[in-house]
Amino acid sequence: MKARLPKGYSNGGNTTNIQQLARQAQKMQEEMDAASKELEEKEYTATAGGGAVNAVVNGKLEIVSLDIKKDVVDPDDIDMLSDLIIASVNEAIRKARDEKAEVMDKISGGLNVPGLL
């Protein structure tokens, strides 16, 4: 039994379109890979508690540095210090994720193709 293509899909000419689409997808993937590499090198900074805690993460979402002002360290209120650290690290991570999503969205034109990101 022969398989038939749906109406409007013939072998004539569509092979070229599929090849062109494949080349465009490959180019988009290459651009995304390059942008991803570039973003991994960037650093994102966020503060909490009016600058009492300063966190820096890289584009790989790894903490690069954490600066804590002495006056915010209170042995009787470790919970507050923990909250400030969490808030600053999470904000820095959010900044990194948001920029990556924005850059990838520009490259892909909003197209969400599984396996490309």
What's the pLDDT band for 99 if we cut at 50, 70, 90?
very high
Burial zone of 57 (CB within 10 Å; 0-12 exposed, 13-18 middle, 19+ buried): buried
- What's the whole-number average pLDDT of the chain? 86
Structural domains of the chain in order of their starting residue, each with its CATH number: 12-108 (3.30.1310.10)
Q: pTM higher than 0.75 for the full model?
A: no
What's the pLDDT band for 18 if we cut at 50, 70, 90?
confident
Q: What is the pLDDT of residue 100?
A: 92
Q: What is the pLDDT of residue 114?
A: 60
Q: Exposure pattern of 85-101 as b/e (b: 16+ CB <10 Å)?
A: bebbbebbbebbeeebe
Instruction: Considering only CA atoms, give the Rg of the chain.
Output: 23
